[in-house]
């Protein structure tokens, strides 16, 4: 297990990583998620031994590895730009770490073949890397990082340079590849969908600090703070009075600030039977967009006080006035 304990990195007056702590359990992938400049890549470089800590500890299996040089830490790293050696073919790129460990030629060939098979590139040993597609190059980079059997793999925006189709494909395949080799990983990204698809745990960072830690679904449904909620793309942030009052009526939660999840709303017939006696409210449909296989509907409450976005099952049309009820289980308090 990897444990980051009160890690801090400063560049002059700038605190890039500010007292960060979290753990990476054996065999799990932890994703560092946050906007550019939040300190996630700096922290990854510190784990790799490429950036010294100003204070704190990095502990693997009970041993502080801060004083160890990068090659002594047993950690693999994969970068966004793949950093393949252009003068070496695919096989010699993948075997590079094995050569550094003085692994025999027969074992190297077997391991290279095994890793290329794992990433779906069997038979690519003699291919030149300059003739690879972007997705193939990333797979070769992953095979190279995995070949020496590191105890931990660090991935720094590994899919950021790929087009959407390739990124989505590798996002689907990467967790299974890591599970098959039984390796722990720390994965850095600013992409929410990538983070939630890849991570067993998500660490949301902002301004060098950890803002939220938890399983992907838990972090999404309960961001805890308005800062995290807005970063994750939640748009339905509402102030609720002591008795559940909101400007357009009443909801079954409160008081305080809450985030209403986009799947919280159900369309009901005006004046008809309510769901579990929940209060309803009316709103006008002002926009309807099809995104990622789902219909995203934007509504404005009839008093004009709120603009909300929901994923609705029932088909509605722009200009229609609809009645909605909210599921209190899909509403979370935030600070």
Residue 223, classified by CB atoms within 10 Å of its CB into exposed (0-12), middle (13-18) or buried (19+), is buried
Query: Structure pTM?
Result: 0.88
Beta bridge partners of 333: 258
pLDDT of residue 261: 96
- Half-sphere exposure at residue 298, Cβ-oriented, CA atoms within 13 angstroms: 11
Cis peptide before 255 (omega within 30 of 0): yes
Dist. CA 135–CA 55, nearest whole Å? 38
What pLDDT tens digit does each residue of the chain (335 aa) get? Answer: 899 999 999 999 999 999 999 999 999 999 999 999 999 999 999 999 999 999 999 999 899 999 999 988 989 888 777 678 889 999 999 998 888 888 898 998 999 999 898 888 999 999 999 888 888 888 898 889 888 888 899 999 887 767 777 778 888 888 888 888 889 999 999 999 899 999 999 999 999 999 999 999 999 999 999 999 999 999 999 999 988 889 888 887 878 999 999 999 999 887 655 666 788 899 999 999 887 667 899 999 999 999 999 998 888 999 999 999 999 999 999 99
Dist. CA 262–CA 282, nearest whole Å? 16
Distances, alpha carbon 213 to alpha carbons 217, 248, 282, in Å = 11, 33, 36
3-state secondary structure of 22: strand
Domains of the chain: 2-226 (3.40.50.300), 234-333 (2.40.50.140)
pLDDT of residue 286: 96
């Amino acid at each position: 297990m990897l444990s980051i304990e009160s890690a801090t990195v400063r560049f002059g007056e700038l605190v890039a990583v500010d007292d960060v702590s979290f753990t990476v359990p054996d065999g799990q992938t932890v994703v560092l998620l946050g906007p550019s400049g939040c300190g996630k890549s700096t922290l990854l470089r510190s784990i790799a031994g490429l950036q010294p800590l100003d204070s704190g500890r990095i502990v693997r299996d009970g041993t502080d590895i801060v004083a160890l040089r990068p090659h002594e830490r047993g950690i693999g790293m994969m970068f966004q730009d793949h950093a393949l050696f252009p003068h070496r073919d695919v096989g010699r790129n993948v075997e590079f770490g094995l050569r550094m460990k003085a692994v025999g030629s027969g074992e190297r060939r077997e391991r290279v073949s095994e890793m290329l098979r794992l990433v779906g590139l069997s038979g690519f040993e003699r291919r030149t890397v300059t003739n690879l597609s972007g997705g193939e190059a990333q797979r070769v980079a992953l095979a190279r990082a995995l070949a020496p059997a590191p105890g931990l793999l660090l991935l720094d925006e590994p899919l950021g340079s790929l087009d959407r189709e390739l990124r989505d494909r590798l996002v689907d395949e990467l967790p299974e590849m890591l599970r098959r080799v039984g390796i722990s990983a720390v994965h850095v990204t600013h992409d929410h969908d990538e983070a939630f698809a890849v991570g067993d745990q998500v660490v949301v960072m902002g301004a060098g600090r950890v803002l939220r830690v938890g399983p992907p679904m838990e972090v999404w449904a309960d961001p805890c703070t308005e800062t995290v909620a807005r970063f994750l793309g939640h748009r339905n942030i509402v102030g609720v009075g002591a008795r559940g009052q909101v400007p357009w009526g009443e909801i079954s939660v409160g008081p305080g600030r809450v985030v209403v999840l986009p799947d919280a709303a159900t369309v009901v017939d005006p004046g008809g039977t309510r769901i579990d006696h929940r209060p309803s409210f009316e709103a006008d449909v002002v926009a309807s967009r099809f995104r990622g296989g789902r219909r995203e509907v934007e509504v404005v409450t009839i008093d004009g006080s709120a603009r909300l976005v929901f994923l609705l099952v029932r088909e509605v049309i722009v200009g229609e006035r609809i009645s909605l009820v909210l599921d209190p289980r899909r509403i979370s308090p935030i600070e």
